[in-house]
Amino acid sequence: MNTIVLAAQKGGCGKSTLAASLAVAAMQEGRSVRLIETDPQGTLWNWQQRRACSVPGVDVISDVVQLEQRLWIFSRQDVAVTIIDTASGISPLTNAAIRRADLCLIPVRPSIVDIEAVAPTLGTARASARSFAFILNYASNRGRRAGDAAAGLGDETAPDLGNVVAQPYIGTRVQHQDAFGKGLAVTEYAPTTESADEIRRLWQWVANRLNQTVPASARAATKAAPGQTARNPASIGKASLPHRFMDF
């Protein structure tokens, strides 16, 4: 089983919509998918209640013990992919989800405010030695902003943009919100649109990244050596931003 976590310090970046969209795209590819909702707002749960079908199932989790138990159960069933939607900010539950992730996806809008806000989530992923990638969401197809944002995120994290910034960028289009409001994903609601094509390609990018990792469910549990001090995510600091972002 592969476990994907969508996490971000800042709200309004589209975590829940992306979680639902990726889950449905994986299902349409023939994979068994479960969603876990750790956000008290219950956005994914409400989305599932609007659906005409029971899949993908959404499990509401409120503490770390429940999360561990549910992932253990899923790993022994025929679940191929579990996608965890988290609340904004960093909490013990979000930290636990990131630690159990095969891939931590960090949605971010292409703005200086949003890019500055990724540091705590990025720090947690790095401190937990988890694979991560940014999803540029609500990106405009006009101007340089999305490209500059991607380059800035790459400057902070790795020289290979193709490895840390998911492709494609997800554009600002009303089909995503319209679909979500009806309990659908955009690949169900408007399957022939560019919005749906972007989500299918994004899922393929994510699936390719997952193929490069050993699933967390297959790894032996490890503990820090006695006396070893875990790296403090807060010590990683705020991402330094290239000068080009001053034009935002």
Question: Strand 132-136 vs strand 103-108: parallel, antiparallel, or unpaired?
Answer: parallel
| Cα–Cα distance, 32 to 81 (Å, whole number) | 6
Distance between CA atoms of residues 6 and 143, nearest Å: 27
Task: Please state the domain count of the chain.
Answer: 1
d(CA 81, CA 75): 9
List the CATH number of the domain containing 37: 3.40.50.300
Whether 64 maps to a domain, the answer reads: yes
Phi, psi at residue 41, to the nearest 5°? -65, -25
Other beta carbons within 10 angstroms of residue 192's beta carbon come to: 8
- Grouped pLDDT means (10 residues each) for the chain, 248 residues: 93 92 97 97 96 95 96 94 94 95 93 81 90 88 51 48 80 92 97 96 96 66 41 39 36
CB neighbours of residue 138 within 10 Å: 20
Question: What is d(CA 42, CA 79) in angstroms, rounded to the nearest whole number?
Answer: 22
Asked whether the whole model's pTM tops 0.85, one would answer: no
Pairwise CA distance, residues 149 & 110, whole Å:
5
Would 225 be classed as within a structural domain?
no
Look at residue 224 and tell me if it is in a domain: no
Domain with 38 in it: 2-218+231-247
Per the listing, tokens 């943009």 go with 161
pLDDT (0 to 100) of residue 63: 95
pLDDT of residue 230: 42
